[in-house]
Amino acid sequence: MRFIQEYRDGELVRRIANKANELLERLGREVKIMEVCGTHTMSVARHGLKGLFRGNLDLISGPGCPVCVTPDSGFSLVFQAAEAGKTVITFGDMMRVPLNGRSLLTLRSEGLDIRVMYSPYDALKMAEEEPGKEFVMAGIGFETTSPLFASIILQCRRRGINNLRLINLFKTMPPALDMLLQAEDLEIDGLILPGHVSTIIGVKPYVKLVEKYGVPAVVTGFEPVDIVESVRMILQQLVEKRSMVENEYTRTVRYEGNVKAVRLMHEVFKPVDSEWRGLGVIGGSGLALREEFKFFDAVKEYGLKPVETVKPKGCLCGEVVRGSRKPVECSLYKRVCRPDNPVGPCMVSSEGTCAAYYYAGL
């Protein structure tokens, strides 16, 4: 980014933090702000931003890591596809997610064909180059990635590629935020809204949520200046007793979002109820292939069914995803669960809260 150093200006960050602390002093109570996006969580930890604020500010992490919110039942479908002899293509942070003592990395070491993609277009290229193989994409992510997978499905149909199918594990963010804001035990005072997701869906989808719950929210970028400024903006709303959606990330996010990407997503997918780790089933929070694209549904085509899994004893990954517990409250954290020996996906993914805390030395 051409002007990236402007957003990492330490003196500017401190000045903004001082203004935020003045607002915290005026409020005179504990304030709980949730950063929803996993990339925000990593940035907060990496730059030590929590230490800039008064003790009455509690920054908590939300369900912004797509791998972390995917339940074991979803991962089991991907494992089954590999065990059934299909060539599975997935993002790298899914390779080490543990499931009943195994992982996709384990399965690959046993000789199964499991490949890492950096983009869904890698999967399309593989399917074109090896027409004799049956490929299965593990479709995981929020509104940020689902339009890309939608474009792959459309290209497959247009070009007659019939050896590439999808396991659909996509989630959409606004319904999850609705559920979290209803939770009385969380008592969220403000939301730092996800920058990547908002680049696609824009600001508009959050407006009704803020009006419904009266909770200030700010769409935010990922650099230190972005995040500290978003905290200040939320605190300013609280002091002034108002609630609205503000857009700090104006250099990337527009009110209406990326209209073309949203249209692409809705052309291929439809909303469905979906299970989230730590949150349960949330109405309309998932995406399923529309009827005219059912040929590409790997779950139906290959008869895949979720299998029973065993939750590791003592693992608090679900509670961490929900924002009700912090990694340091888990008895396994650092003692047993580490990046070289992850017990749950929150320690595996680059956007996982436990991984963020670990690498920040917390």
Contact residues for 117 (Cβ-Cβ < 8 A; gap 6+): 89, 90, 91, 123, 137
Strand partners, 219: 193, 247
Given this model, what pLDDT does residue 331 score? Answer: 95
Local structure of 48: helix, strand or coil: coil
Burial class (CB in 10 A: 0-12, 13-18, 19+), 131: exposed
Nearest-angstrom CA–CA distance, 353 and 345? 9
Strands 31-35, 280-289: pairing kind: unpaired
234, two tokens: 């939320």
Given this model, what pLDDT does residue 91 score? Answer: 94
Nearest-angstrom CA–CA distance, 268 and 146? 10
Residue whose C-alpha is closest to residue 351's, from 50, 47, 67, 58: 67
Given this model, what pLDDT does residue 350 score? Answer: 79
Given this model, what pLDDT does residue 307 score? Answer: 84
318, two tokens: 């679900």
Given this model, what pLDDT does residue 3 score? Answer: 65
**Residues 316, 59, 359, CA angle at the centre, nearest 5°?**
60
CA distances from 230 to 25, 30, 56, 224, 237 (A): 17, 17, 17, 10, 11
For the beta carbon of residue 95, count every other beta carbon within 10 angstroms: 17
Residues of the chain with CATH 3.40.50.11740: 1-313
**Which H or E run contains 281?**
strand 280-289
Residue whose C-alpha is closest to residue 112's, from 137, 87, 76, 77: 87
Given this model, what pLDDT does residue 18 score? Answer: 97
The pLDDT profile of the chain, 362 residues, written as one tens digit per residue, is 456 778 888 899 999 999 999 999 999 999 999 999 989 999 999 899 999 999 999 999 999 999 999 999 999 999 999 999 999 999 999 999 999 889 999 999 999 999 999 999 999 999 999 999 999 999 999 999 999 999 999 999 999 999 999 999 999 999 999 999 999 889 999 999 999 999 999 999 999 999 999 999 999 999 999 999 999 999 999 999 999 999 999 999 999 999 999 999 999 999 999 999 999 999 999 999 999 999 999 999 999 998 888 888 999 999 999 999 999 999 999 999 999 999 999 999 878 999 999 988 88
Contact residues for 242 (Cβ-Cβ < 8 A; gap 6+): 216
Cβ density class 196-222: b for 16+ within 10 Å, e for less: bbbbbbbbebbeebbeebebbbbbbbb
Q: Regarding the domain delimited by 1-313, which CATH topology (the fold level of the hierarchy) does it fall under?
A: Rossmann fold (3.40.50)
